[in-house]
Structure 1
Amino acid sequence: MSSRTGKIIIILSSFCLLFILLMGCNRGRVVDDLQILSIMGFGLEDEAYKGTALYSDYTEQKQGKIHLLHGQAKNTRIILEEINQQSPKPIEVGKLHMLIFSRNLAEDGIAHFIKTICRDPLINSNLIVAVSDEPVENIMTKEGSESLPDLLQNNFKSGNVPFSNLHLLLYDYYGEGRDVSIPFINLNQNGKVEVNRYAIFKKDRLSLVLNQKEMILYKILKGESMKGQMEVEVRKGPQKGLTVLKSLSGKKIETIYQSGQKIKYRITLDGMVKEYPEWLNLRKKEDVKILTKELEKNLMKDLSNLLSTFQDHGVDPLGAGDLVRTHSKRWNEAEFYENIYQQIEFDIDLRIQLQTSGIGE
């Protein structure tokens, strides 16, 4: 290679490097010129949608101060335009972390939002969608509201809340034989935001709200992440009391029988008991055996009751219809839920393996 060619290559390489650096700086300036929204909420008021958007100002003077912007219209695009008109910078929804619907809006139907905001290709598929029992603005004005996505993520990983995000919502909404389910948040007695219930939809309308116990049972039935803890009643002869079972891990296998008329769930749980009645001595193998059998019996009963609740309300968040569809040559969704779903027999085989180390700690 001649020295002249080498110099040309060096010059071109320098220009390429400079171009990349300039592009990077340009992107930074673009981001600085945008108002990046982190949480949005929508409610239904006077036959119109009311939107609330939250963003944090991290300029040197503001130090992360929370700001809310509002809009009201019958169309989400108009709401976004109204919010944009109140902002000193163009708003950006592509970095949204959370989308909240009020309960009355969820009961009225969220199809409009699924077809507009949720299907926007710029929206992050890991966005968390939730229903609020409180007016959305009440939730978003609480101290620490900017950390709501972190609260949900923490409960997904280590608490009793089944995992959910926009990707799963769209999969359940557009998929055949499935129904949408998302977290349900509210304010506790101390005015703090908490998630201790779960919302189940039929098509685009809120149909059923699971309580805290049903929520952890639903998490077990989903079989994706079985960490959590729950109270379970146990008996030994005439004595009865409550134990706290902490589930550490588990797995679920589902099988279909009798041409879709019967579905069996085989569930195994590994866990430990954190609290138990004083009349149980878990140093004795016999008492551990009694406790294990009681836990299995009562949990199977609770899981069966929850499945019956789903059938009674005509909702299918576990995708039983999808499972039957994959094993049927001819399957019609409307016919299945009108004539077959309520008649399906669910069978649960639950096995619990208690870790003796750590029991009662």
Structure 2
Amino acid sequence: MKVKIFVLMCILLITGCVSPKVIDELPVVFVVGYDSGENKKMKATVASQVFNRDQSSSIYTYTASSHTSKGLRNQLSAIQKPITIGKIAVILFSEEMASEDKGITRILDSYLRDATVGRLVTIAIVEGGSAHDLVKYDYGYPEGLGPHIKNLINKSVEFSNFPRTNLHLYDYMYKGAGMDPYVPIINKKGNKIQLTGLALFKNDKMVEKLNLEETFVFNLMNEKANIGVHELKVNHSGYASLQQVSSNVKYRIENHKSVPTIYINISVKGSISEYSGLQINTKVEHMIQKALERKIESKGRKLVGKFQNLKIDPLCIGDRVRSQTRQFNVANWNQIYPTTKIVVKANVHISGSGVVR
């Protein structure tokens, strides 16, 4: 009996030391935006949701400025109700801040070290404005801004218009040899958020951006894709809408022990759902097939040339060479990469069906 009483007293003492928190009343951060502040400081704006007991929710925004990411965390934790960041969905950076020599890894590092933050957090760049203005605006999204942006990007990845990106992949590509990271670009148009392209990084500094058409071709060169639907300009007056479009890519490396030649072979399949010309026949199918092959090869060559001129490797070509080369020398690869011969070849198979107008 005495043992039971002793155990009960210990439990009461332990529970009495725990600070009570009503989870429903804690602000939960779903999105945070970073901008360059005054006096070489960084500015962070967070949008948080408080879930009320009546099953409704309220959205609040907070802004702080500091010289370090930790300093920002300390300022934001000083508000009346402590913010919990374990549910954070999106981290945004203004284009201006991402292009600075300081880079963005100094900020992301604090999230990577936080065990409460998931590794599937989405990173994105805010084009043509501040992250503060984008985060603070009331869009009326019922799920909140952070989950909305995350769902928007995930849907584009699902339909293979954008490559997969998240906090974990960014960190992996930033630290890995023979590869460089990339993240989506968004902007605010009216009262809506839209995807506009892909930001390319050299180390952790944004150095270039791709538009939607370039991102589409980049994704074909990067990984296997199930695009679904794609509109194609066939000639000066004709357009075709393709459906059930899927692709596969294979890299072939020759002379990988000396000066390699890399072949990027892209296979695409699909069918014609709509054509603006007179009729769909074998000749039209062949014409559409060749038009798509020219588009992929032409834009692919331009992208590869752009990457080599900037000395960046978002296609992870160096890593592909490394995987086939014993005693791979990173310094040597970095020297020869800008002049390495890289050939982009597309093989398209299109079947006719659908409507003509």
In terms of mean alpha carbon deviation, does 297-306 or 208-217 score higher?
A: 297-306
Equivalent position SS for 1:162: coil
Does the Cα contact within 8 Å between 2:126 and 2:186 map onto a contact in 1? Answer: yes
2:115 to 114, 121, 126: 121
Equivalent position SS for 1:91: coil
Overall identity of the aligned pairs, in %: 22
Question: How far 1:73 moved relative to its partner?
Answer: 0.1
Question: How far 1:56 moved relative to its partner?
Answer: 1.2
Instruction: Tell me how many residue pairs correspond in the alignment.
Output: 332
Match of 1:7 in 2: none
Match of 1:202 in 2: 202
Question: How far 1:272 moved relative to its partner?
Answer: 3.2
Q: Are 1:91 and 2:63 matched, yes or no?
A: no
Distance 1:159 1:329 in 2: 33
Does the Cα contact within 8 Å between 1:160 and 1:229 map onto a contact in 2? Answer: no
**C-alpha distance 119-360 of structure 1, shift in aligned 2 (>3 A):** farther
Deviation readout 1:110-148 (Å, 9 max, x if unpaired): 120132223423211111011111201211123032422
Map of 1:160-175 to 2, 5 A cutoff? Answer: 160-175=161-176
Distance 1:176 1:307 in 2: 18
RMSD: 2.8
Distance 1:119 1:177 in 2: 24
Equivalent position SS for 2:265: strand
Match of 1:252 in 2: 249
Distance 1:231 1:349 in 2: 20
**C-alpha distance 29-359 of structure 1, shift in aligned 2 (>3 A):** farther
TM-score w.r.t. the length of structure 2 is 0.84
> Structure 2: 5+ residue runs without aligned partners?
1-10
Match of 1:322 in 2: 319
> Structure 1: 5+ residue runs without aligned partners?
1-18
Map of 1:277-296 to 2, 5 A cutoff? Answer: 277-279=276-278, 281-282=279-280, 284-296=281-293
Q: Are 1:136 and 2:137 matched, yes or no?
A: no
Question: How far 1:77 moved relative to its partner?
Answer: 1.3
Map of 1:56-135 to 2, 5 A cutoff? Answer: 56-60=49-53, 63-86=56-79, 88-108=80-100, 109-133=103-127, 134-135=129-130
Match of 1:10 in 2: none
Distance 2:68 2:356 in 1: 55
**C-alpha distance 233-321 of structure 1, shift in aligned 2 (>3 A):** same
**C-alpha distance 193-166 of structure 1, shift in aligned 2 (>3 A):** same
Equivalent position SS for 1:341: helix
Equivalent position SS for 2:111: coil
Question: How far 1:29 moved relative to its partner?
Answer: 5.8
Paired letter, 1:197: G
TM-score w.r.t. the length of structure 1 is 0.83
Match of 2:269 in 1: 270
Question: How far 1:177 moved relative to its partner?
Answer: 0.6
